[in-house]
Amino acid sequence: MERKALKYWKEQEKPREKLLKEGEHKLTDVELLAILLRTGTKGQTAIDLARKILDKFGSFRNMSHTSLKSFKEIKGLGDAKICQIKSAIEIGRRMLEQEIKSKKVQLTSPDEVVRYIMPRMRDLKKEIFKVIHLDSKNRVKDVIEIEEGTVNQANPIIREIFYKAIENFIPSIICVHNHPSGDPSPSKEDIEFTKKLKEGGTILGINVVDHIIIGDNLYYSFASSKITPFEFLSEHDSENRS
């Protein structure tokens, strides 16, 4: 039997009407996603399609790092709807980042850095390099993403890191990048890059507080590892935390 289109549902069964009457916090994940999708396809409502998507991926977090290929395996989910979902998830991420920045968070240990940055980086499927700019009291002034170069091409990325710090009169920085494999253990290139980074900061008078590698709910802190001559703001118990 063909399911009725959303417009034929009873008023109290429609997600949009429920949102307007009771508030978005009252909606289930399926109902929120159905509003985003707007329409279903022949034989299924937007609710049906939303339920199918969540059954496949399990959660919004899992959807945030899912490939386009996996989305396209779902019948009735075209490019337009996939773009709507991806855009909404990215809006959520950016709102969280903006809220964190506005609170003038003070970072005094690798654990605090990771709690601050982990939600944004643990699920990424490509390597991203971010630099946290700190003021003289180790409060976050900004978080920037480095677009030029990679750890394996050390010189271009180091130039951009220090150029942006000098341009904004930043006294201290914390560098963070992710390993898409989920294993935060440093590679030979990571170690060599970090040594060059620390040397550059010493020459330029910019304190490189730490270089942290993010994995899947794990991290590696060079400031804790003693591989390079870091001096962090407090003592730490271990290199990897879960």
pLDDT tens sequence across 22-48: 888 888 999 999 998 988 888 888 888
Contact 220, 240 (CB under 8 A): yes
Local confidence band at 209 (pLDDT 50, 70, 90 cut-offs): very high
Report pLDDT for 150: 60
Q: Which of 23, 12, 89 is nearest to 57 (CA)?
A: 89
Cα-Cα-Cα-Cα dihedral sign, residues 123, 126, 32, 53: negative
Report the interhelical angle of 29-37 vs 15-22 (nearest 10°). 120
Q: What is the DSSP letter of 24?
A: G
Parallel, antiparallel or unpaired: strands 129-134 and 207-214 = unpaired
Local confidence band at 148 (pLDDT 50, 70, 90 cut-offs): low
Rounded to a whole number, what is the distance in angstroms from the first to the last CA of the chain?
Answer: 49
Q: Is the pLDDT of residue 66 over 90?
A: no
Report the interhelical angle of 154-167 vs 188-204 (nearest 10°). 30
Q: Is the pLDDT of residue 125 over 80?
A: no
Local confidence band at 181 (pLDDT 50, 70, 90 cut-offs): confident
**Mean local confidence (pLDDT), 85-107:** 77
Q: Which of 200, 235, 234, 197 is nearest to 213 (CA)?
A: 197
Contact 114, 214 (CB under 8 A): yes
- pTM, rounded to two decimals: 0.62
